[in-house]
Amino acid sequence: MSHFAKVVNGIVVNVITAEPDFFDSFIDNTPGEWIQTSYNTKGGQHLLGGTPLRYNYAGIGSHYDAEADAFYQPQPYPNWILDTETYTWISPIPMPDDGNRYEWSIDENNWVQQ
């Protein structure tokens, strides 16, 4: 089975599981376009070693950049930057890699240990 995202004005409004030939006879009169997405694609890499598809799996509320043919999540924080090589968001300060759990703090504009 494959996954398909319904995209309206660049935003994913629905995701379904279907065989590609389902769309040969499926009639959808609502605005938007159905675009295939891969559950196993993240950051431009296929998690199982296959061929990545459209950078990331599309979830409801995700964005679709038609020019780049890429799905990506909404911006999590105002100062995070979209990495257009992976179509993932990058924090302005790297998260510490010391084995502890961290969460981004908007107030402190930094990672806070949990």
Domain ranges in the chain are 1-74, 75-114
* pTM for the whole structure: 0.91
DSSP 85: T
Write out pLDDT tens, residues 15-35. Answer: 999 998 998 899 999 999 999
Distant-in-sequence, close-in-space partners of 31: CB < 8 Å, separation ≥ 6: 8
Residue range 30-66, pLDDT digits in tens: 999 999 999 999 999 999 999 999 999 999 999 999 9
The DSSP secondary structure of 34-86, one letter per residue, reads EEEE-TTEETTEETTSS---SSS---TT-EEETTTTEEEPPPSSTT-EEETTT
